[in-house]
Amino acid sequence: MAEIAFERVTKRYDDGHLAVDALNLKIEDGEFLVLVGPSGCGKSTALRMIAGLEEISDGALVIDGAVANDLSPRDRNIAMVFQSYALYPHLSVADNIGFGLKVRGSDKAAIRAKVEETAKLLELSDLLDRKPGRLSGGQRQRVAMGRALVRSPKAFLMDEPLSNLDARLRGQMRAEIAHLQKMTGVTTVYVTHDQVEAMTMGDRVAVMNKGVLQQLAAPRVLYDAPANLFVAGFIGSPPMNLIGGTLVATAEGHALSLGELSIALDAAALAARPAIARSAGRRIMAGIRPEALYPAPDATPGPGKLAGKVAFVEDLGANLLVHLDLDGAAVVAAGVSEDGEELQSARTRLRAVIDGTLAVRKGDRICLTVDPARIHLFDAETEQAILD
């Protein structure tokens, strides 16, 4: 196992493109760390630099306390699992798993023992004589992982390994990979653009955008306390609602002035974030997650309520995803989409996830309410969260 550290690591290509910009990131021994972000954010480049498949332009990559910038991929003892399984179709499962050991000249009996041990761990023992063409997608993925695991590597590197599987298999393999990592304790760095994978698998998640690390934290912290507007907009499905406005001081304390709407911040919200008082009068973005909104008991518009006309409803079974044309305030979209495209600020609809048993239909007028403690606040100029 290994501790891996990026110390101001930069990757700049010959054409001047800056793929990774002064990345500082420490991956603990035995940790499952996920790198997540939109296409082109630098996550795969960072992974390939660990493997030695990309040269480092500046900074130091440290593996087990030693600078590894100039080490060949072979000398790093790091196993990589790619999107494509890259299995040899003419070889059996056993021969595929043991191929790397055979190339290194290991003893046949030792290879057989190691292959059987690895196959048992991955529940492949009954499939060792089969060829890859007779395996399901999930089984082929386990064989690819077995080929990496059999070498007893210092670390696993996984580059979107589940992207070729259907939704059902992805869910199954997420659980299997996370379970396997806990069993083996091998340091694992996992790259994905899928936030569900990131939030359900990683001990910690590193969110990247345009080559820059935006936030490194446990999944729950990313959800509950996003560091900036990018993380707020990227983490969460459906995405966070963002409403522009101003923080104002009132006789009772402070309130959010959001267009024609006003939401008072209670004592608990102010005590949790003292910086709110210092931000009075400044332009802010208020972030409200769709699942933090609730139908008001009284449908009459008033202070603290978000009222509007239902544009359409998506029935998700247990929940309804309600799209609401909000009265008196503009919801905006900002940040970067999963495919890396910039999203320009524009008027859009408020989204709310509510109980699926409620009778809400297109054309209805409804009022929603939110706990002020669950409203995220961001400085409109710096785009940084107002946290403390």
Higher pLDDT, 258 or 315: 315
- What domains are there in the chain, each with its CATH number? 4-227 (3.40.50.300), 234-379 (2.40.50.140)
Q: 348 falls in which pLDDT band (50, 70, 90)?
A: confident
Query: Of the ranges 14-28, 98-112, 252-266, 317-331, which is most confident?
Result: 14-28
pLDDT at 342: 47
Residue 340 pLDDT > 50: no
Query: Of the ranges 69-73, 263-267, 276-280, which is most confident?
Result: 69-73
> How far apart are the C-alpha atoms of 335 and 224, rounded to whole Å?
18
Higher pLDDT, 194 or 23: 23
Residue 274 pLDDT > 80: no
What's the whole-number mean pLDDT along residues 339-362? 76
pLDDT at 1: 64
Q: Among positive and negative, which fits the CA dihedral 5, 156, 158, 53?
A: positive
> How far apart are the C-alpha atoms of 219 and 278, rounded to whole Å?
29
Q: 309 falls in which pLDDT band (50, 70, 90)?
A: very high
What's the whole-number mean pLDDT along residues 212-216? 97
pLDDT at 115: 92
Query: How does the average pLDDT of the chain come out, rounded?
Result: 88
Residue 334 pLDDT > 70: no
> Of 5-14, 222-231, 261-270, which gets the smallest average pLDDT?
261-270
180 CB-side CA count, 13 A? 21
What's the whole-number mean pLDDT along residues 234-240? 90
Q: 80 falls in which pLDDT band (50, 70, 90)?
A: confident
pLDDT at 2: 87
Q: Output the pTM of the full model.
A: 0.87
What's the whole-number mean pLDDT along residues 109-125? 89
Asked if residue 316 lies in contact with residue 356, where contact means CB atoms within 8 angstroms, the answer is yes
What's the whole-number mean pLDDT along residues 179-207? 91
> How far apart are the C-alpha atoms of 220 and 229, rounded to whole Å?
17
265 CB-side CA count, 13 A? 28
> How far apart are the C-alpha atoms of 372 and 292, rounded to whole Å?
10
Residue 253 pLDDT > 90: no
> What H or E segment, with its residue span, contains residue 104?
none
pLDDT in tens, 27-52: 999 999 999 999 999 999 999 999 99
Residue 347 pLDDT > 80: no
> How far apart are the C-alpha atoms of 81 and 158, rounded to whole Å?
5
pLDDT at 105: 84
Q: Among positive and negative, which fits the CA dihedral 180, 185, 188, 193?
A: positive
